[in-house]
A and B are shown apart, each in its own frame.
Chain A
């Protein structure tokens, strides 16, 4: 049931058109940050206004929308954004990754491989991968234009010199199609290998910073590293205590005040699907009972 006081998917058609233009430009120049006239949305900056605007510009009435935050469909902000589009666009929503045509995400890429025809929309807080090396936008835009990424390599090298490894565990920078260094949004670096060669379209929206960027399907994406210190996608060295998966990204949950921990899949749909298929983990109800 949609709310007829607002245009389909909340934004007016002119605004959606402006955003679609930015998206198309982003897809044409993979990894390049396209400035766009981000609108004030009825949720705060930092809550995913960039992603929400990109999703609004992509949605059609036939779409099926999935929204996740931290990999889960039931986190409060995912619930809130899903309800927003259910109300303003009246689109069908789902928690099943393979049923969704548009997936808006914060901080994760679903475990299941996405397919052609799907769109993955990322919420991005700081789109500029060089920002914490150089705070000035005018300067970082110049660096991108000149492909001047020496500062980034020095930073990674200094990490190795000090810690023996690159001390970036999320929002790990990547190079796109051998040209632009890009911030993949604060996904754990575990997810980085899924960015490249993905069949789905990946769109990144940063509302407050007024930037959109994109990865077209089957795009070449390489996590920055050195030959003698290759990139390693890491996760907690455990299996999911609910579904037993040994390959999914895990949340660590403090189970009591004596320091007990349990680990479970961050991707709730993936975990529920495995349990429905009969997979069991260390703490699955059967074993506990």
Chain B
């Protein structure tokens, strides 16, 4: 005799207990601390902060621990927490030109004022497993050098001076906020950039890659990629001036894109822009390529129908929290809908079989 499924509440409770046990793994192995994750899985922490839209390395590390290393789940934890935070106001725009970079490279010039700084990059490592890391206790020391005491202006500003770069008009004083207003089309560039910087790294990467392979090609050069900390200042109304409230690590990428001109614009270089929390250069470069591809309309370029040119397609599908939620929800019960489909298919099938028999 069928017994209606009861005890959902007990099942949920037991599932949560099992999950907690699995998260901890073998208790004979020492537990990971949040600070270990923050310090030693820093790039995962960066990704969770970027896609979670919340700059807090400790909370991001906690989320990674709680999510058993599932980064999208960790991003989700951060987003859900972020929503509950009160908003005191908006910071002043951060001054990335004043950053003291840990890494700063330009692919368009052999040398630039302020110098090229390789920084802590995987770029020229040979991808050979380092079995020494299986032993514990290492604490490598890098050699030190005094920083060059010279300003580090944006590379693109140098081209700008020659009039070769497209002029960038200052935007609205207060840009719209993607997290407080529904995303409606057409979306202006500030909204597009907000969506991309918190968009899924894999999705934005693939979109950018598609432009390189010819689906909306933009002829991009990395004019400059810089990573470093910048102070965040906020104007306090009671004080009447801006005070420094902290610092964030950012990756900024500006691409220089060849542009032979259109009906409305003269031949010049155009730019794509990427700005992401933490050291996240794959994401920042991807973002700047997709940003540039999405600008086809304002520059009077042809819409070739490439996916990366389609703002609706890119912006409505780049958020991995929305995507994974909707994707995974199909595992929830749908038996009422399925029942109505069963009845429909049975009816259509009976009719079709009846017709076939009548014909024979």
Contact = CB atoms under 8 A, between A and B. Distances in A.
B312 A137 contact: yes
A77 B339 contact: no
B333 interface: yes
Interface residues of A, number: 65
Given A163-B348, A188-B339, A266-B336, A255 B11 contact: no
Given A138-B185, A236-B339, A169 B344 contact: yes
A262 interface: yes
Contacts of A283: 1-2
Contacts of A164: 348, 351
Interface residues of B, number: 51
A125 interface: yes
A196 B201 CA distance: 45
Contact of B11 (A38, A76, A78, A83): A76
B348 A44 contact: no
Contact of A107 (B82, B336, B344, B351): B336
A79 interface: yes
A188 B337 contact: yes
Nearest to B5: A74
Contact of A46 (B2, B12, B332, B340): B332
Contact of B182 (A10, A37, A47, A77): A37
Given A83-B9, A137-B185, A167-B348, A208 B337 contact: no
B234 interface: no
Interface string A130-146: 00000011100000000
Interface string B176-207: 00011111111000000000000000000000
A42 B76 CA distance: 8
Contacts of A251: 335-336, 339
B186 A138 contact: yes
A74 B4 CA distance: 9
A70 B326 contact: no
B123 interface: no
A75 interface: yes
B343 A169 contact: yes
B191 to A, nearest CB: 13
Contacts of A46: 325-330, 332
A44 B344 contact: no
Contacts of A40: 76, 79-80, 82-83, 321
Interface string A53-89: 0000000000000000111101111111001000000
Contact of B336 (A78, A234, A249): A249
A242 to B, nearest CB: 8
A288 interface: yes
B182 A38 contact: yes
Contacts of B335: 70, 251
Contacts of B180: 37
Given A47-B325, A79-B9, 4 more contacts: A40-B76, A76-B11, A164-B351, A170-B341
16 contacts: A35-B184, A36-B182, A44-B321, A44-B328, A49-B325, A83-B9, A137-B184, A169-B340, A186-B334, A208-B325, A234-B340, A234-B343, A249-B336, A250-B339, A266-B339, A268-B4
Interface of A: 6, 10, 12, 35-42, 44-47, 49, 69-72, 74-80, 83, 107-108, 125, 136-138, 163-165, 167, 169-171, 186-190, 208, 210-211, 234-236, 249-253, 255, 262, 264, 266, 268, 283, 285, 288
Interface of B: 1-2, 4-9, 11-12, 76, 79-80, 82-84, 86, 179-186, 312, 316, 321-322, 324-330, 332-337, 339-344, 347-348, 351
Top 3 A-B pairs ranked by shortest CB distance? A46-B329, A45-B325, A169-B340
